């Protein structure tokens, strides 16, 4: 206890030196937290772009649908399936869809289009497509009109109130043809959807394809990706053929691979950052040792054992590490919090490139406990390791030479 008291008092004998050493740890925690938050924020936004703009976390489909996206590979929701889904409390939302392709025609223009039949209220609760309407209005229940991508409308020179002709093949080869008034235009963040998406009310879509009661997918939402990984095995074991459950990770493996690859690169960048932070902390510790060299010599000369002196300095360093790491943790909250609510816009060619890929042109930040706590612990552990340097130096300390200097 005496050693702990002495170490604590030594910190405040020279407040300037303690402040400089703690400040290097403080800045290290903040910088690593910002970097970690940026990485996790970009990954979270990538997942949101897939999950909340189209796929949901999980989809129930006919077991062959994903490999062969034909309207003939659709299904009907049975009471047994509804009971299974209602027995899983983590499932917060669900939205039915019927998807297929058709030719869209207006005047001299003809384009291939992705037709998506939706329940307007349930769909916008998941993907917020009502907020992406840039002209006209959103679909209402039992609406006989359609909304389509703004780029598709522009390429066909069509607008609100015009009538679009759709031609396709319905359920079991029946011809599908119809005229649909345009209720609104949508600007989707994914440019591919902007160029070909057409939304219509679900019952209207089922009538168009002569597929009453049929669905191509049932989109399910949970709170987050961790919950999805917990629910998915339970769901897979509960539902039987002809149904299958697929997560967004199974539907979009390239995105998962991209995130994992980026994590590996980010780990290398974070290691470089930690090395820079470590050398900054190490430099302040060396400065402290050099400034107190004569002091250490006097203490050993009057009878203090070297191992006790070394232990005292190590405890001092650990105390400084605790002060700096905790201060850095507290200081990270307002910095990361500001950027979390005010993401950094990416302008110029970089922003245009991101928009072409279907991503919002911003640098996003994550607000998660792991981001802060892990960085604080990493920098603190690094400080403890650096504290072994004064331990090594003081065990081999030559007090006579120190007193002469």
Please give the average per-residue pLDDT across 153-175, as a whole number: 91
Range with the lowest mean pLDDT among 139-153, 321-335, 368-382? 368-382
Please say if the pLDDT value at position 206 is more than 90. Answer: yes
Q: Kindly give, in sequence order, each residue whose CB lies less than 8 Å from that of residue 222, ignoring residues fewer than 6 positions away.
A: 57, 58, 90, 91, 92, 228, 231
Please say if the pLDDT value at position 350 is more than 70. Answer: yes
Give pLDDT tens digits for 110-126.
Answer: 999 999 999 999 999 98
Q: Which residue has the higher pLDDT, 90 or 362?
A: 90
355 band by pLDDT with thresholds 50, 70 and 90: low
Pairing of strands 163-169, 93-106: antiparallel
Question: Which segments within 238-391 are labelled E, that is strand?
Answer: 243-247, 344-345, 362-363
Cα–Cα distance measured from residue 50 to residue 56, given in angstroms and rounded to the nearest whole number: 7
**C-alpha distances in angstroms, 148 versus 20, 64, 102, 108?**
60, 28, 13, 18
Please say if the pLDDT value at position 403 is more than 70. Answer: no
Q: Tell me the DSSP string of 117-138.
A: EE-HHHHHHHH-GGGGEEEE--
Cα–Cα distance measured from residue 232 to residue 209, given in angstroms and rounded to the nearest whole number: 31
Report residue 145 as tokens: 């009109």
pLDDT of 219: 93
399 band by pLDDT with thresholds 50, 70 and 90: low
Please say if the pLDDT value at position 26 is more than 80. Answer: yes
296 band by pLDDT with thresholds 50, 70 and 90: confident
Please say if the pLDDT value at position 176 is more than 80. Answer: yes
287 band by pLDDT with thresholds 50, 70 and 90: confident
303 band by pLDDT with thresholds 50, 70 and 90: confident
Report residue 378 as tokens: 């990493």
Please say if the pLDDT value at position 305 is more than 80. Answer: no
Q: What percent of the chain is modeled with pLDDT above 90?
A: 26
Range with the lowest mean pLDDT among 116-120, 323-327, 347-351? 347-351
- Asked if 215 and 94 touch (Cβ cutoff 8 Å), the reply is no
pLDDT of 400: 64
Q: What is the mean pLDDT of the chain?
A: 84
Please say if the pLDDT value at position 386 is more than 90. Answer: no
Rounded to two decimals, the pTM is 0.73
CB atoms within 10 A of CB 221: 20
Please say if the pLDDT value at position 182 is more than 90. Answer: yes
Give pLDDT tens digits for 208-243.
Answer: 999 999 999 999 999 888 899 899 998 888 888 788
Please give the average per-residue pLDDT across 101-108, as a whole number: 92
Report residue 335 as tokens: 């910095």
Report residue 68 as tokens: 């062969």
Give pLDDT tens digits for 239-271.
Answer: 887 889 999 888 888 878 888 887 788 778 878
203 band by pLDDT with thresholds 50, 70 and 90: very high
Q: Kindly give, in sequence order, each residue whose CB lies less than 8 Å from that of residue 31, ignoring residues fewer than 6 positions away.
A: 273, 277
Please give the average per-residue pLDDT across 282-289, as a whole number: 77
């Amino acid at each position: 206890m005496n050693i702990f008291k002495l170490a604590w008092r030594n910190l405040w004998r020279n407040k300037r030196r303690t402040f400089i050493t703690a400040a290097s740890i403080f800045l290290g925690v903040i910088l690593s937290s910002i970097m970690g938050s940026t990485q996790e924020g970009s990954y979270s936004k990538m997942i949101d772009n897939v999950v909340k703009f189209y796929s949901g976390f999980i989809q129930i489909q006919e077991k062959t649908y994903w490999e062969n996206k034909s309207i003939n590979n659709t299904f009907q929701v049975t009471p047994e399936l509804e009971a299974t889904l209602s027995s899983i409390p983590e499932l917060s939302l669900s939205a039915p869809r019927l998807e297929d392709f058709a030719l869209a025609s207006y005047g001299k223009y003809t384009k291939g289009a992705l037709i998506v039949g939706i329940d307007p209220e349930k769909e916008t609760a998941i993907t917020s497509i009502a907020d992406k309407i840039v002209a006209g209005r959103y679909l209402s229940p039992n609406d006989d009109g359609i909304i389509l991508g703004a780029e598709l409308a522009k390429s066909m020179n069509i607008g609100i109130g015009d009538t679009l002709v759709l031609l396709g093949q319905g359920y079991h080869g029946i011809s599908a043809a119809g005229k649909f008034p345009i209720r609104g235009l949508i600007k989707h963040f994914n440019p591919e959807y902007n160029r070909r998406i057409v939304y219509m009310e679900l019952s209207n879509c089922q009538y168009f394809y002569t597929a009453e009661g049929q669905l191509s997918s049932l989109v399910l939402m949970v709170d987050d990706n961790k919950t999805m990984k917990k629910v998915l095995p339970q769901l897979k074991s509960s539902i039987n053929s002809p149904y299958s459950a697929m997560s967004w990770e199974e539907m979009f493996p390239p995105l998962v691979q991209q995130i994992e690859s980026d994590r590996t690169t980010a780990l290398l960048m974070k290691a470089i950052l930690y090395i820079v932070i470590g050398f900054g902390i190490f430099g302040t510790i060396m400065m402290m040792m050099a400034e107190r060299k004569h002091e250490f010599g006097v203490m050993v000369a009057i009878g203090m054992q070297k191992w006790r002196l070394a232990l005292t300095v190590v405890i001092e360093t650990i105390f400084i590490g605790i002060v700096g790491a905790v201060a850095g943790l507290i200081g990270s909250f307002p910095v990361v919090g500001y950027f979390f609510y005010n993401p950094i816009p990416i302008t110029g060619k970089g922003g245009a490139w991101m928009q072409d890929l279907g991503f919002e042109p911003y640098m996003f930040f994550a607000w998660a406990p792991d981001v802060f706590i892990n960085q604080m612990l990493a920098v603190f552990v690094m400080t403890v390791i650096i504290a072994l340097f004064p331990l090594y130096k003081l065990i081999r300390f030559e007090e006579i030479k120190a007193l002469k200097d």
